[in-house]
C-alpha cells in the first residue's frame, strides 16, 4: 500500500504549545481550587481531550469546576499563544516539499487551533482539513479521530502515517491500524520521551521535523517491497 496521507497531531507536532498550555492549565486550575503543577498537568493530561481531563478532575474534586474556570483558561491560553507560540522548527519547509496529502487531527478544539495554527502561519496550509476530537465520540487514545480524519480525506487507514508526540495519540493511531511516527522535538519533551513513545507503539521516533519527508519515503518503499 502506498502512503497517501500524513495526519499531523497539532500540539507538540505542528506548534510548540505544550509548555505554554501546561503552564496555563496549572495556573488556572490552582486558582480555581485544584492545586497542580505544570509538570503534573503534562504527565497526566498531555494529548488527551479537555473534556476527559475535566471529568477526571471533577470526579476527584467531588464537584464541577467553577464556570469562570473555563473562560479564564481560554483567555489566558489564547493570550499566551498570541504572545509566545512558535511553529515547530522545520514544519513550514516540510509542508513545502511533502508529496502526500496532509491534514490535522487534534484533541484540541477548532477555536484553539484557529488561534494556535493561525498565529504561526499554519492554519491556511491545512484548512479545511483540520479535525478535532469534538467531532467524534471518543478522543485519543481511542482510534475514532484518526479514522474520522482518514474517512473525510477518503484515504484507507493502511495508507496513512500519523505524526504524534503523546502516548495517547500513539495508542490511538495504532488502534486505527495506521503507521505512527513518534515526534519528540517539542520543547516539552525531556529525556526518555522517545523511549516512552516507542514503548507506546511508535513505529519509529524522530526529533528533527526536516527528516520527515525522507522517513515517509522510506516507510512507503518498505510497504511496497515488504
Catalytic residue chosen out of the listed positions 4, 9, 16, 165: 9
Contact segment (CB under 5 A) with Mg ion among 137-145, 162-170, 176-184, 207-215 equals: 162-170
Measured distance CA(50)–CA(47) in Å, rounded = 9
Measured distance CA(151)–CA(208) in Å, rounded = 29
| Residue 18 burial by Cβ neighbours in a 10 Å radius (0-12, 13-18, 19+) | buried
User: Residue 17 Cβ, how far from Mg ion at the closest point, in Å?
Assistant: 8
Q: Are 54 and 44 spatial neighbours (Cβ–Cβ below 8 Å)?
A: no
Measured distance CA(189)–CA(202) in Å, rounded = 15
CA distances from 5 to 86, 114, 155, 156, 207 (A): 24, 22, 7, 9, 20
Quick check: is 9 catalytic? yes
Is residue 16 close enough to count as binding Mg ion by CB under 5 A?
A: no
Letters for 43-82 (x = contact with Mg ion by CB under 5 A, - = none) are ----x-----------------------------------
**Residue from the set 4, 9, 144, 203 that interacts with Mg ion by CB under 5 A:** 9
Q: Which is nearer to Mg ion, 186 or 220 (CB)?
A: 186
**Residue from the set 104, 166, 171, 197 that interacts with Mg ion by CB under 5 A:** 166
User: Residue 103 Cβ, how far from Mg ion at the closest point, in Å?
Assistant: 15
Is residue 144 close enough to count as binding Mg ion by CB under 5 A?
A: no
Lookup result for grid cell 470526579: 59
Measured distance CA(60)–CA(106) in Å, rounded = 26
- Type and span of the H or E element at 7: strand 5-8
User: Residue 1 Cβ, how far from Mg ion at the closest point, in Å?
Assistant: 26
How many residues at the interface with Mg ion, by CB under 5 A? 6
Is residue 12 close enough to count as binding Mg ion by CB under 5 A?
A: yes
Residues catalogued as catalytic: 9
Residues near Mg ion, by CB under 5 A: 9, 11-12, 47, 165-166
Amino acid at each position: 500500500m502506498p502512503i497517501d496521507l500524513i495526519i499531523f497531531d497539532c500540539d507538540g507536532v505542528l506548534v510548540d504549545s505544550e509548555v505554554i498550555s501546561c503552564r496555563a492549565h496549572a495556573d488556572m486550575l490552582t486558582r480555581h481550587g485544584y492545586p497542580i503543577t505544570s509538570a503534573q498537568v503534562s504527565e497526566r493530561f498531555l494529548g488527551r481531550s479537555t473534556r476527559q481531563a475535566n471529568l477526571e478532575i471533577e470526579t476527584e474534586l467531588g464537584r464541577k469546576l467553577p464556570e469562570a474556570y473555563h473562560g479564564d483558561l481560554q483567555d489566558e491560553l489564547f493570550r499566551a499563544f498570541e504572545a509566545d507560540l512558535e511553529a515547530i522548527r522545520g514544519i513550514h519547509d516540510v509542508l513545502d516539499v511533502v508529496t502526500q496529502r496532509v491534514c490535522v487531527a487534534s484533541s484540541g478544539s477548532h477555536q484553539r487551533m484557529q488561534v494556535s495554527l493561525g498565529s504561526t502561519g499554519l492554519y491556511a496550509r491545512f484548512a479545511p482539513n483540520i479535525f478535532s476530537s469534538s467531532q467524534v465520540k471518543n478522543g485519543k487514545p481511542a482510534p475514532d479521530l484518526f479514522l474520522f480524519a482518514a474517512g473525510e480525506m477518503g484515504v484507507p487507514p493502511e495508507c496513512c502515517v500519523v505524526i504524534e508526540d503523546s502516548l495517547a495519540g500513539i495508542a490511538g493511531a495504532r488502534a486505527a491500524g495506521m503507521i505512527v511516527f513518534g515526534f519528540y522535538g517539542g520543547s516539552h519533551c525531556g529525556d526518555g520521551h522517545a523511549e516512552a513513545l516507542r514503548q507506546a507503539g511508535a513505529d519509529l521516533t524522530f526529533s528533527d521535523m526536516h527528516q520527515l519527508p525522507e522517513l515517509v519515503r522510506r516507510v512507503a518503499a518498505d510497504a511496497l517491497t515488504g
